[in-house]
Amino acid sequence: MSVLEVEMHATAPDSETRTSHWPDPVVPDVSLPELLLATAFCQAERTAILDAASGRVVRYRELADQVRRVAAGLAAHGLVPGQTFAIIAPNSPEWLVGCFGAMLAGGVVTGINPLATAEEIATQLADAEARFVLTVPALVPAVWAAAESAGGTAKSVVIGSPPEDAIGFEELFAHGSRRPLEHIDPGSLALLPYSSGTTGLPKGVRLTHLACMANVVQMRTSWPVARADQVLAVAPFFHAVGLIVLACRTLFAGATLVTLPRFEVEGFLAAVQDHRITQSVVVPPIVLALAQHPAVDHYDLSALRWLACGAAPLDADLQQACSQRIGCPVGQGYGMTEATAGIALWPVGIPPVPGSSGRLLPGVRARLVDPETGADVARGGTGELLVRSPALMTGYLGNTAATATTIDREGWLHTGDVARFDADGNLFLIDRIKELIKVKAFQVAPAELEAILRSHPAVKDAAVVPMPDERAGELPKAFVVPAREVPAQELIEYAAGRVAPYKRIHEVAFIDAIPTSPSGKILRRLLARPVPQPAHHRMTQGETT
């Protein structure tokens, strides 16, 4: 039996609030790294992490020892409890050792997308006031440029061969395995992921150890993990799906986590076959590849008991096509970074309902309200989804206004998603009020791209909206009011040079004016309809990358 146990007690639904089918969870009053160490003690010689790219095996005994050594090393190099430790690297055992080691030293971990530009990295480092950055040699130039732009206070820790003026990751091991702190307050911050929330630019999401622990307990009710499971982690660890849904859920159960640094169809299929993967959680583009790619027929996927998809909605037909192709159930989940990760999941063992995001997790309360009036809608109706959960954030870093907009005075998280429940409690996402664009499960804030476009001398005004795409789900499309004649491709390339690849604008339309409300808010829903263009311009399709 693993260290993490789910204890339950009964709940009573009321007339307006939906509750989970399961009783509320009882959450262990312990920090994330301390639970990992306790789990490792119970099965020291079992395989904790297997790196599919290199074949390296890390047993639980070695994982615990390395986590303690990294904690001691970071403390010796000056990491103080409460300070931020940034990680920008592909998935690897070192990513997780660095993450839990920093937490064991009292640090707060913020993950950064390895595809981010130096400017984007600098923005997050500065906002989070990061004191250390863990990275890999290939990313050192961008990290150093970003660190200098952010004030130059962050020390670099490099996995592999470090350049001069950087700390080698393995150098941290030399400081012994004595943990620097006797105890970590479970109510203190553990993670600082960045999310755009329902609108606006990315903001630091303050997540405590208890919030993260609560979500792991909640998720293991729907998506259980046994010691014998082999769980494939291709979703990036800087994202909640990778770190919480996959890594923490697996390692806290004493199972084996198989890491992949990136998704490539044949590499993914080979990992499933060679390591007898029993379960994984992926994003919609991977489901699409599994449903359509011819290579799927050449690999043995028979060990796979189930596959789940999260981070963005999955089309019901694609969900069923993938299930038939790989020969196991494919279910969905729904969540937000502001709720740590999961809010609703398909319960394993019950046939998935195509198109549904599953059922509310233990301890989650939900309401559907009219987006205009805030009044609760009748049962069976459609409205904006509001949730309460023990896994909610404590707020956005340094942004009380955005926090108050997202979580109201009664503790309800306003998701910005329009949804409905069927008679069995299955959640269906209908539309979204929030203006984020979901590209391959990554969040793209229209405001960020609009600001970049407005900085071009030929642009008077701009608005960015999502357009549907079979592979990516959605792609950014820009509507531009020109200040002078300008080729659409010039604007596409101008923005592309300033953002990560997944944020690139793929289409530009020129119009006479951006529609706005009396208060000046861009009415993006109107831009989703055909709009008249100036006679001297036409819509231009940008290159897909």
Domain boundaries, the chain: 28-43+57-192, 437-541
Q: Strand, helix or coil at 78?
A: coil
Q: What is the pLDDT of residue 408?
A: 94
Tokens of 249: 């859920």
Q: Which distant-in-sequence residues (6+ apart) come within 8 Å of 400 by Cβ?
A: none
| Nearest residue to 178 via CA among 105, 98, 251, 106 | 105
Could you tell me which CATH class the domain 28-43+57-192 is placed in? alpha beta
- In this structure, the strands spanning 256-259 and 413-421 are unpaired
Q: Strand, helix or coil at 501?
A: helix
Options 3.30.300.30, 3.40.50.620, 3.90.1150.10, 3.40.50.720; CATH for 437-541 is 3.30.300.30
Give the CA dihedral 321, 292, 289, 358, nearest 10 degrees.
Answer: -10
Give the pLDDT of the chain (545 residues) as one tens digit per residue.
444 543 333 333 333 688 888 888 889 999 999 999 999 999 999 999 999 999 999 999 999 999 999 999 999 999 999 999 999 999 999 999 999 999 999 999 999 999 888 999 999 999 999 999 999 999 999 999 999 999 888 999 999 988 888 999 999 999 998 989 989 999 999 999 998 766 667 899 999 999 999 999 999 999 999 999 999 999 999 999 999 999 999 999 999 999 999 999 999 999 999 999 999 999 887 888 899 899 999 999 999 999 999 877 777 888 999 999 999 999 999 999 999 999 999 999 999 999 899 999 999 999 999 887 889 998 888 889 999 999 999 999 999 999 999 999 999 999 988 889 999 999 998 767 777 788 887 878 787 888 789 889 999 888 899 998 888 888 999 999 998 999 999 999 999 999 999 999 999 999 998 886 544 557 777 786 544 443 333 333 332 22
Q: Strand, helix or coil at 255?
A: coil
Q: How far apart are CA 59 and CA 463, in angstroms?
A: 51
Q: How far apart are CA 452 and CA 447, in angstroms?
A: 9
Inter-axis angle of helices 284-292 and 316-326, to 10 degrees?
A: 50
Instruction: Supply the pTM of this predicted model.
Output: 0.82
Handedness of CA 398, 401, 406, 407 (dihedral sign): positive
| Nearest residue to 506 via CA among 481, 482, 472 | 472
Q: How far apart are the first and last CA of the chain?
A: 47
